[in-house]
Each structure stands twice: as structure tokens, then as C-alpha cells.
Amino acid sequence: MFLTDTSVGNTISENTILNNTGLGIDLAGDGLTPNDVGDTDAGENDLMNFPVIDRAWMSEDGESVIVKVDLDFNSSEAPYTIELFDNDSVDATGYGEGQYFIGSVSTSEIGEDIELTIPITGVTPSSFSTITSTATNTNGSTSEFSTTPSDTAFSTLDQFSPNGGKIAINSPEEKASGSTPDYTSSRAVTVYLKASDSLSGVTQMKISENKNFKNTRWRDYKNKIDNRLSEGDGTKTVYVKFKDESGRVSKTYNQKITLDTSLPTFTLTNLGTLTKDTGLYIKGKLYNLYYYSDTYVSFGGTLSDLKHGESLVIKYDDTTYEGNDQDTSPIYLNYEGSSWITQPLYFSPGKHTISIYSIDKAGNESDHIEFKLIIDPTL
């Protein structure tokens, strides 16, 4: 398209221009009209400067194209309409044509490295390497076509978001969806992350306990990070989403974990049938000696934290029993009554040091109760 007189206000908008032997738009009919500083020259269509595209990429929602451009315009001719086009191939002149209209945006900005978000009202671009643009000033004068983007690293259009996302907490192994959350006794946790994007690569991520990621910034993508859970015991849900180099964003993935910082407690109320008791239990201190004539002794008491999987541990000599299943341990836990009792445990004649404590699934341990037990069949 040639303009060979000095008229202005010739608007060329949303046209399909392609397969020309020369420029798609030629303001003076003499080939490329280079941009001048400040766009103060005069002539056909004000010899309107064209945009210079540095790079382009897709918005997160896939509904707009974002371009970084240099706009060297005459400030008295603002605002300007920037139109974006796609092409099947680059024009032989190096300056594009306008085969497919993508969309437009109005701006009054002038300068370098300006980011413009252009809603897609026409076609979705097939490649960022072949897009071009024009500018039209407030007088209605349209420029020649720009060149294609100069940053070739952004030349490939990635139409796919990161996929295969995974998140696990305190262990690289991801828990199956719907499974019982793991426990932790500390707000400080290690989060293991994974996502893939075969075209442009995963570059950033957001992680939050807010499913809408409120007040959460993008950070560099890593496979393993230290994270801090919010205050207060209870089940926490950690959310993550990923972004690739082209700006495409993945769906949201999540993992649950239960924070339990409370120490469990238990009581020892049943010491079996004593033959002789030499003292009373003093909390936090060693029991005095207890004497038995029978070599089988049963203990019992109460537990406070069965809802968090509290288990009881009994240690003596070289033997350790941990009870939360009567089928595999001589310790029976009554979850309804929050009590515990052991089957009769064998003790050989002589002195034994016994240690009893409880531990929950988060790893919190109660105070340990220790006492001496003497088996003397002669009593």
C-alpha cells in the first residue's frame, strides 16, 4: 500500500496485507522510512514512526499478548493506537506485513521498554517470531509496519502450560490424593516440587496456604525449598502453581499436612499386683523400688492425644514395645476410653529399669516415667 502525496489522517486498520513485492505499507512509495527521533518530521501520514518490538509473550490467562516495545512518537499526537498482526512468514524486506489481525490497544506512553497488554480480539498468534505492529496517532495517520521481535529467545509461541505438577512436604514422595495427611511438630518444613514444560521450560512458581495466592509473588522455580507454615495447630493445605518462560500458568496443585506442636501426656495408674511398695511416684523423678513375686506383670493408664495417633512405648532391658495395634503389640490402646493396658509382660527374677512414655505421629514425646522393678519369687 503506497501513500505518495503529503496527506495525513489516512488510517489503515485491521486490514489483511500480505504477499507484496515491497513493503506492506510504504508512506512515501520509496521504500522504508526510518524512524526519526521524536517523530517531528512531516510528510505522508505525518511520516508516523512505527513501534519497535523487543519481545512478545502470552498473558497468564491466554487472552492477551504482552509486548515490550520502544515507542518514539511526537507527544503532541497522543494518544496512539498500537495494532498487532501475525504472519505465516517474515517479509523478505525484514519489515513485516499484516496477514492476520490480533488486537489493538491505545496508549499515550513514549519511551523504551514499554510493556503493553493487547487483548486478542482477532486471531491467536501462531508464533511470536512473525508478529508485526503499526501505530496510528490521534490524527488518524498510520505508520509503516514494524520489524518482527528482536529478542529471538521469545520467538517460539508456547501454547501449553506447565504440567505434571507435584508437591510433597518433608518427604520427596508425594502422597496420594485423599490420603491421610502427614504430621509435623514444626512450622518449618521442606517442600518438594516438580513440574515440566517441554517447550519453554518452567521458570517460576507461587506457593501459599491461600488457594487464591493472595499477596503471593512469583519466585524462581526450584525443586526443593524451605517453607514456614502458618501459626496454630491443625491441618494445613499448601498450594502451588507454576509458570513457564512464555508466561503460561499451570493449574493449582496442593498437599496437606497436620501441624501438631502439643506434647502428649499419659498416666501410669496400674502397676499390677504389688507384693511390696517402697515409695510413691514423684512426677518427673525416678520411681522408688517396686517388688513383685510374680514374673508376669501388667501395666495400664490413660493417654491424652489419641486423635493424633498417640502411641505408648515401654522399654526395659533389651526389649522395646510400641503399642497402637493389639494384634502386633502386647499394648492395647482403647481409643474410645483413651486408656491403655498391657498384656502380662514377662520379667526374669532380678532388678529391671523400666521406661514408659508416649509419642504422637508428629514426633512429640511426653515426659518419660522411669522406675525400678524387682522380681523376687521368694517374697
Q: Is residue 206 part of a domain?
A: yes
Return the bridge partners of 107, or none.
Answer: 80
Q: Is residue 356 part of a domain?
A: yes
Classified as helix, coil or strand, 65 is: strand
Q: Are residues 273 and 371 in the same domain?
A: yes
* Mean of the per-residue pLDDT values of the chain: 84
Please name the residues in contact with 29: beta carbons below 8 A apart, sequence gap of 6 or more. 2, 3, 4
Tell me the pTM. 0.57
Average pLDDT for residues 318-335, to the nearest whole number?
A: 73
Q: Are residues 149 and 226 in the same domain?
A: no
Q: Are residues 131 and 49 in the same domain?
A: yes
pLDDT band at 306 (very low <50, low <70, confident <90, very high): low
Residue 216: the pLDDT is: 95
Of 154, 187, 216, the residue at which a domain comes to its end is 154
Q: Are residues 275 and 241 in the same domain?
A: no
Q: Are residues 366 and 323 in the same domain?
A: yes
Q: Are residues 61 and 145 in the same domain?
A: yes
- Indicate if the alpha-carbon torsion angle 285, 286, 291, 296 is positive or negative: positive
Q: Are residues 49 and 124 in the same domain?
A: yes
Residue 288: the pLDDT is: 58
Please name which of 41, 65, 45 lies closest in space to residue 55, comparing C-alpha atoms. Answer: 65
Range of the domain at 111: 37-154
Q: Is residue 281 part of a domain?
A: yes
Q: Are residues 200 and 232 in the same domain?
A: yes
Residue 284: the pLDDT is: 41
Q: Is residue 367 part of a domain?
A: yes
Give all strands of the β-sheet with 311-316 in edge-to-edge order.
Answer: 276-277, 289-292, 369-375, 350-359, 311-316, 319-323
pLDDT at 125 over 80: yes
Q: Is residue 215 part of a domain?
A: yes
Q: Is residue 16 part of a domain?
A: no
Q: Is residue 2 part of a domain?
A: no
- Kindly report, residue by residue over 136-176, the tens digit of the pLDDT: 999 999 999 999 888 755 555 566 788 889 999 999 887 76
pLDDT at 294 over 70: yes
Q: Are residues 43 and 149 in the same domain?
A: yes
Q: Are residues 214 and 235 in the same domain?
A: yes
Of 259, 285, 304, the residue at which a domain comes to its end is 259
List the CATH number of the domain containing 144.
Answer: 2.60.40.10
Residue 157: the pLDDT is: 58
Among 152-156, 245-249, 314-318, where is mean pLDDT lowest? 152-156
Q: Give the Cα separation of 349 and 346 in Å (integer).
A: 10
Count of domains for the chain: 3
Of 154, 181, 211, the residue at which a domain comes to its end is 154
pLDDT band at 326 (very low <50, low <70, confident <90, very high): low
Q: Is residue 25 part of a domain?
A: no
Give all strands of the β-sheet with 52-58 in edge-to-edge order.
Answer: 52-58, 64-71, 111-119
pLDDT band at 378 (very low <50, low <70, confident <90, very high): confident
Q: Are residues 232 and 293 in the same domain?
A: no
- Kindly report, residue by residue over 225-246, the tens digit of the pLDDT: 999 999 999 999 999 999 988 7
Q: Are residues 104 and 184 in the same domain?
A: no
